[in-house]
Chain A
Amino acid sequence: MGYIEDKNNFAIQTFNITRKFGNLTAVDGVNLGVKKGEIFSLLGPNGAGKTTIIKMLCCLLRPTGGTGAIMGYDIQEEPLAVKSIIGISPQETAISLHLNSLENLELICGVYGMSKEETKKRSEEILELMSLTKRAKDRAGKLSGGMQRRLSIAMALVSDPLVLFLDEPTLGLDPQARRSMWEQIAGLKGKKTILLTTHYLEEADALADRIAIIDEGKIIALGTSGELKNKIQDKQIMIVKAKNLTHEAIEGLRKIYPDAREIEGGVEIRAKEISFERIVNYLHSEGTKIESTLIKEPSLDDVFLQLTGKEIRE
């Protein structure tokens, strides 16, 4: 089989992997190859099929079509071999609340059959890595949400897995805790192969070596953040915030830039080339009082918008 031949290059592969739930196709013939040591992000809105892909790759859900491989081990034929080399941090925080942080890590070391010495060494290392050493003896139920999430990821790491699955690792965290989590994940770059699912564009942008954009169970684009942004045709975006902006003024603007659209308190213009001066002069001539202007680079949200016609958080 192909994936066996490629196992020296790829840590994770899927071959036309499909999962149907009755009439609903949650994952539709997805083909992926994640290189060893890579942080690879599956980016898509809720319900796009990201978690279903992770569940199939972790042997929690059988594909209804196609298959996948982790380090060359078929997920359907060799689940035990797969389970011995992966770690997962599920979307919900997966910890035991009545155990302390250290005991939670010892639980995982135990189920992976690690010796006492190995357990102690690994647990101390991981607590340090995830900045939890000071809270090692505190019950997990008493930790903050951000710390619980860090502990959940620590539990995925403590068995020293070759491949790590992080399903929405910063979901529900405040911006500060999210930044801190990004730093922890970025610290693993090159050391582990990581498949990260997220619906936060900035997260994929900040962390991932490559990104696959997924929508309605299908991969609709794949590449580095830069490659994906280069794909969009409208490379310039100008946002004008203004008072007295009339529908007539926007209609007039559309004659010059057909993709101009009204946004809250202003107008957004997308085009291959934008003339700042021309737009400002036109709006002034229409009696519009401009409050601010912004010319921005395309974001992954813009890529998603162009590819699917909708915003990622819709």
Chain B
Amino acid sequence: MRFAALASRNLKETVREPLSVVFEIGLPLIFMLMFWALGKNLGEDMFTATMQLPAVVIFGFSFLMSISAITLARDRQSALFLRLLTTPLKSGDFIAAYSLPYVLIAIFQIAVCFAMAALLGLEIIGNIGIVFLIFILMAVCLIGLGMFIGSIFTENQANIAGSAVIVFVAILGGCWMPLKFVGGVFESIGYALPFAHAIDAARNVLNGSTLGDVSIDLLWVIGYTAVFFILGAVCLGWKTKE
């Protein structure tokens, strides 16, 4: 359990940075309120709390991914990381310490977004457990991507790469408008990535679909989660042995 000490440090470093908290918790809530108000004025179903919850949660994870990538990239260049490499910590300890704290933050994000959505009229017809599973898988997927970006890039590069992923999630994930409205090649790219599948699956389950109904979307999410997390873990493991 040597990793727990470093994981605890990483959690504290993140939550004690006021800007991180604003981006991870405040911003998703502001987005949810904003689009809910928009939906009220336009009378558009797309912006109800039930439709917005999956988009806001997964969009929030993209900020978490960016912050985890920047933290890791900054740490890798620090003397503290150098010191940690001279301790008995193994590669697996570093991987656990740079992923588990963000999973905890993601769970907190999910809870806060659920609470806000409930206040704004969230309706849950399907199985909430499946929705939670989809969210957790996407959190792990994006944390893996963050670990990958943080392992191979410098802090500045990670900042740019993280911003690019946030934009991809917003546009190609169909967060604020259905991908079919974008159409063409962008719709194809969107559905070649996991974000739109995760958002569609969560929306459908909230509206009453079963696990079987969303199994194809779920397989996309599971596949990408495995690939991104393994990629991130391998890269960080490699950096700690380099």
Contacts and interface: CB of A to CB of B under 8 A. Distances in A.
Interface of A: 58-60, 80, 83-84, 86, 88-96, 98-99, 103, 106-113, 152, 155-156, 159
Interface string B81-95: 011111111100100
Contacts of A91: 79
26 contacts: A59-B86, A83-B86, A83-B87, A88-B82, A92-B78, A92-B79, A94-B82, A96-B13, A98-B12, A98-B17, A99-B12, A99-B13, A103-B9, A103-B12, A107-B6, A108-B87, A110-B2, A110-B4, A111-B2, A111-B5, A111-B6, A111-B93, A112-B88, A113-B2, A113-B88, A152-B79
Contacts of B17: 98
Contacts of A86: 86
Contact of B79 (A94, A103, A113): A94
Given A80-B90, A94-B79, A96-B9, 18 more contacts: A58-B86, A60-B82, A60-B85, A88-B82, A91-B79, A92-B78, A93-B79, A94-B80, A98-B16, A109-B5, A110-B4, A111-B2, A111-B84, A111-B88, A112-B87, A113-B2, A155-B83, A156-B83
Contact of A90 (B2, B79, B87): B79
Interface of B: 1-2, 4-6, 8-9, 12-13, 16-17, 78-80, 82-90, 93
A86 B16 CA distance: 31
Contact of A110 (B5, B12, B80): B5
Contacts of A110: 2, 4-6, 8
Nearest to A165: B86
A84 B2 CA distance: 12
Nearest to A91: B79
Going nearest first, the 5 A-B pairs with the smallest beta carbon separation are A110-B5, A94-B79, A92-B79, A94-B83, A98-B16
Nearest to B85: A60
A99 B88 CA distance: 21
B238 to A, nearest CB: 15
Contacts of A111: 2, 5-6, 84, 87-89, 93
Which interface residue of B5, B13, B84, B87 has the most chain A CB atoms within 10 A? B87
A96 B80 contact: yes
Contacts of A92: 78-79
A78 B13 CA distance: 32
A83 B88 contact: yes
Contacts of B5: 106-111
Nearest to B9: A107
Contacts of A113: 1-2, 88
B216 to A, nearest CB: 43
Nearest to B90: A80
A152 B80 CA distance: 9
Nearest to B10: A96
Nearest to B4: A110
Nearest to B78: A94
A91 B78 CA distance: 11
A155 B82 CA distance: 13
B86 A60 contact: yes
A37 to B, nearest CB: 21
Contacts of B84: 111
Contacts of B9: 96, 99, 103, 107
A48 to B, nearest CB: 20
A80 B88 contact: yes
Contact of B2 (A59, A60, A93, A112): A112
Given A111-B89, A112-B88, A113-B2, A98 B82 contact: no
A60 B12 CA distance: 27
Contacts of B83: 88-90, 94, 155-156
A113 B5 CA distance: 9
Contacts of A90: 79, 82-83
A101 B80 CA distance: 14
Contacts of A112: 2, 87-88
A112 B2 CA distance: 7
A110 B6 CA distance: 8
A108 B1 CA distance: 13
